[in-house]
A and B are shown apart, each in its own frame.
Chain A
């Protein structure tokens, strides 16, 4: 069975198991006092799945989703009680309002991250909560709204805990299925990229900001749904139910249960909402106990309970079954498939044409008036002492920095000042001086992220696990495995990318860039920190790419490597271009020897 089909089977089995447990519990506890808890757990599980998308997967911290919960809850309460609207209309309206609020909030703020975003969401949550108190004409203020009607579905009143539990869980299980599917699709991978490092994602042609917005909006809508369900369950609603303290508790649940799993939140709710019901005598110590457990989880169990369970299961699996790594074939099938696509001399004229490039940082000219071209299949090197402006030139070409003057043409397009994503989409790939792999994802997943831009399946295709999306996913996986074989990393396919040694990280970055099918590859010091064997492997790879017609622009300090590999060399010093030519010409150029080659022994570059 194909690995991704197996993953799909695993997901479906997981969903079935959860459904079995949930509905089994509902039937077993039918007449018991705990039915109430089963409903509450279901309602907050829906909220937590949304929070996991944003907080768990994209790694941002929100302190204000209680605001979205409030929008859903109060929309339902106000519309049904004060306006006499059907709850089935109020519920989607609440979700739409929440979506709108999410859009208004994300437009100016979502491109930022971390603490800043946490603070903005915090302010949002406070504003919404404040409004529930400050607009008593609408929200009935601190006293809250009572007499909220119970739902009824097709003539069946959902007025008992049992009926309502069935309803809530009949919503929660499909949402669980959709979220799990989506997070194993290419969309989910980008969410996780955002958690690790957005910039390399953008240089692979991915709009990370848009994906972060999607995660934020999905979590906002699920929060509103959860709020609406909460309202109709309790029949009354006070501002206390939507306060910042509720949000803190939800964060506790998510991290204790386990982020980045979708189902981890469920464990958290059961623990936080369920346990105090059983251990009533501990009520006094509740807050303290929450804090201690939370602290212990953050410090010693970063993946939460779910993460711990997954790790244990993996260890058990490795112990019981010998790991079945795909074996490496000597020749790479990737290379064979590429031969037909490019081919030397498939176009005339330069691929990259840089004219009069200039970039200054506060008066310092990091790059001044640099011009050069790169043709298909050409290996061009930028050399020069540290601070000569080589990496700056790279960053300008790949769109990370905007040039102050000059034009950059690539493959017939003027790419001057375009975004990294836009430039990558035209076929420019790059690696980083300090490798920036997606550390907490596997090596294979890293390459599949590289492949992202070549695939089309959207949120729906991924969430519904449509055949087309699955087939595409299988294709991405196969090409990524082929690429892994090409850079001799097949044996590391399932390793965490962050745990690779430097040399393998560099190889991984190249494979990741190649997955996006670049016409031009920018390699920033690929040979630094590599041993001789790895350097040999790297030269071989670069020459194979050359044979395919892929152009390479190289920044490198290792002169043997540069002289051996390059067709053409550009020498820079203090941002100026001081010489350009073949390796032979450069080696005999008097000026170059003066400023650079001659000083190598004196370690000017150290």
Chain B
């Protein structure tokens, strides 16, 4: 039982971070059909600016948190305006060239990493846990307070997003764009603005995830890449084009990885569990190309 709780929390923690990445990735994909490989760099920039504001500028944690999110949102705005907007909005009715955008976002990911390297160097940076690193005892299992922060903030963000999509006009406009951008445009939705907003949301989600995870894992200029990969796999596993799917997908990836740690796979750190989790994921994708909770069949072809 203790072991189970330990694993459950560990999986949930990883999964929450993946879910935030997956969600940011999906929000941008839904609005613009852009598969944003640079989503991981939002985490990296978020985590490292948080480190800088905390240690170099000596801001308090809540202030540093907000300012860091703000910085990443600014980055996402520039990103959108400079390399995405000029191409997305040329002809809204036309299909977005998915591969071309995939390559563009890979290039942007490189640029962010290169910038991150120039600013923060090649060494990983660490920040203190939000509420100390003395583990709490829950039913015999030991759990870091940071875990609770991650779970709590993730839950809060998900609730806020749920309200946004369900009750606000902008949220509905964004969902309309994901259904059909041309029609949404004809109905008076400003698609370009919706895409910009999606990038800002993606930036926010990325920054929050990056700041939450940095106390546990530390952050380095290429540190977003692996988190991005896990998040995207989660998004695809859950099913792109829905909001709940990527969140569940991200959580499943995290739980799978954690579960693999109790398998008798030797003591190779977390590596063997990651490999097994990936193999299981490949298996699921082979059987269900649209993802576990995926929508249209055409989704599989993208």
Which residues in A have some Cβ–Cβ distance to B below 8 Å? 59, 61, 108-109, 112-116, 118-120, 122-124, 126-127, 130-131, 133-136, 244-245, 248, 251-252, 255, 284-292, 294-295, 298-299, 302
Contact = CB atoms under 8 A, between A and B. Distances in A.
B85 interface: no
A255 B282 contact: no
Given A114-B302, A115-B35, A298-B103, A288 B98 contact: no
Contact of B107 (A126, A245, A295): A295
A464 B275 CA distance: 40
Contact of B100 (A130, A286, A288, A298): A298
Given A134-B275, A298-B104, A116 B236 contact: yes
Given A113-B301, A288-B118, A295-B107, 17 more contacts: A59-B99, A109-B286, A114-B99, A115-B98, A116-B285, A122-B229, A123-B281, A133-B271, A134-B271, A134-B275, A135-B268, A287-B114, A288-B110, A292-B107, A298-B103, A298-B107, A299-B104
Interface of B: 35, 83, 87, 98-100, 102-104, 106-115, 117-118, 222, 225, 229, 232-233, 236, 268-269, 271-272, 274-275, 278-279, 281-282, 285-286, 289, 300-302
Given A291-B110, A294-B106, A119 B232 contact: yes
A8 to B, nearest CB: 31
A171 to B, nearest CB: 29
A303 to B, nearest CB: 13
A108 B286 contact: yes
B78 to A, nearest CB: 13
11 contacts: A112-B289, A115-B302, A116-B289, A122-B233, A127-B282, A131-B275, A245-B222, A288-B111, A294-B110, A295-B108, A298-B104
Contacts of B279: 127
Contact of A288 (B114, B275, B302): B114
A116 B117 contact: no
Contacts of A108: 286
Nearest to B86: A299
Given A116-B300, A287-B117, A298-B103, A244 B225 contact: yes
Chain A interface main SS type: helix
A251 B106 contact: yes
Contacts of A133: 268, 271
B269 to A, nearest CB: 8
A127 B275 contact: yes
Nearest to B299: A116
Given A287-B113, A290-B114, A127 B278 contact: yes
Contact of B106 (A59, A126, A248): A248
Nearest to B29: A115
A537 B54 CA distance: 75
Contacts of B268: 133-136
Contact of B301 (A59, A112, A135): A112
Given A244-B225, A288-B117, A291-B110, A126 B300 contact: no
B103 A255 contact: yes
Contacts of B115: 288
B278 A123 contact: yes
Given A116-B301, A285-B118, A61 B236 contact: no
B98 A130 contact: no
A7 to B, nearest CB: 28
A294 B113 CA distance: 14
A504 to B, nearest CB: 21
Contact of B282 (A114, A123, A298): A123
A245 B281 CA distance: 22
Nearest to B87: A299
Contact of A116 (B104, B114, B302): B302
A131 B100 CA distance: 31
A134 B225 CA distance: 20
A199 to B, nearest CB: 11
A439 to B, nearest CB: 12
Contacts of B274: 126, 130
Contacts of B108: 291, 295
A507 B282 CA distance: 44
Contacts of B109: 291
Contacts of B302: 114-116
Most chain-A CB neighbours within 10 Å: which of B112, B268, B271? B271
Contacts of B35: 115
Nearest to A124: B282
Most chain-A CB neighbours within 10 Å: which of B83, B108, B110, B275? B110
A118 B102 contact: yes
A327 B285 CA distance: 53
Contacts of A113: 301
B108 to A, nearest CB: 7
Contacts of A248: 106, 110
